[in-house]
Structure 1
């Protein structure tokens, strides 16, 4: 706004007045401000609407930390679906929180307290909080996506993590697998609790002991999926009694594990079946093509936007606090009967 004022030769307050209430500025001055704004690429019409109604038309999505190595390959799909749904409703998307440092979190909280954003979608993460301030304390409508925070009062859009992993474990048991390696997310996190709980549920239903599954990982952030997969290969090699099936809680983990373990001479799926979670498009082009539990990210993004806009419109009492959209298993060549069963 200061650059517009300088180019137009007027005060900043005049630019603000021209945008908020064009009728209070004479036609000649307004024309200069408009020309300067267009030359600088400043969107006067959108800003004017926001200032006149006293509300921003920007929605912020809070990402869960730096995306190491471009990990979590479904995030671009999520952003695309959310952005498309927001544009159709007349809103803009702001991406925030690529680095969960105190400085960036403080800046993120400054935005809603300053009125720069109208609502927020928090993606698979807790709400940032600095110096006693949080998004919720700003009175901002918020929806959580991929992480169930309904118990904390936040409308949440999630998938059926527990049931999906339970069902694929049961599928592997049905193929004849009796020993499993589980590639874990951070131990005790929402997704680890849900997904590992699904594995244990399937084992219990089949009358198999909990020690039929060996955990690997659990000490690194999920963004470091490639590294988790590589470390899991070391754990696998050291096991005296080798598992015949691997359940990875992200595609990244499965891809790096599969690449490295094949380099050691293990055949997939001859010696080892592998299934992962997320449903990244790249899984189809792995060697062999990777079975994966596909998250319905487009539908979840659309549902998150719909919930948020309902909250913005003041109809919170009529919304679902927890919306579950089921994932689906895509079976590919990385899953088969264990070799001993084939023989």
Structure 2
């Protein structure tokens, strides 16, 4: 038996060339019921605005003997709108006729002015064809060509500077009057003289001595005020002792505040800087370790800090004390 295989050709084509189904056309036109409802709503709003306006102006008097339907009210409203439009058109026509009757005149230009403007437009413009005649000045003492008949501007300026700097010979004779007149010769010394360094040093040292005297006087006054009876400050040193632990049926503990914690931290930092030899001697004297102990250094330091911070602690074990006494070389010697 043979089996037929059906393949859709759309699957073999690309996505762009693949034919899509026809899209349904949406009917976007408004339905007549919606248009009717919108028109009725606009009529109602306009009618309500008109009634409010008449009430404010006091012109409308509502006399309703029999209730009217919505259709009659809408027809009446349309008629009123048409009448109002006719009224506006009549007012516009009357205003236009009044302006014509008043004889408003418009100032028109005179015929002479119009004729002159026409001739000005037709007149050819000769400004573009003007030629200027430029004449060269031959009296310039310098030129622009190097090696020409005239020197260049640089050579000319250098020669002028040389002429200005050269001394001019004196050809005139000077007459010298040998007669001495009895006139007072003005002094050539300056009127104001600068002070010498010695005088400046003397003045500064004098001012400094005066300042020292005033300062010493103020210190003496303050010292005399402090030495006066009744103003002397008496200093006392107060020591407080705290008994911690169980004492007379009471147990007291110390709650560490910020200052106490700071003191303990400082003491710990000082203890950590102690050499290991001092640490071993302290623990050996108190009986915590034996002579020749092989305990690591960090454990010995922790024991040293704990013993030092706990207070005056001693180990009363006789074995350690006897071992240290027998193996101590200093005492045996």
| TM-score bracket for the superposition, by shorter chain length | under 0.3
Q: Please give the TM-score of this superposition, normalised by the length of structure 2.
A: 0.15
Q: Greater share of strand residues, 1 or 2?
A: 1
Q: Using structure 1 for the length normalisation, give the TM-score.
A: 0.15
Which of the pair has the greater relative contact order for Cα pairs under 8 Å at 6+ separation? 1
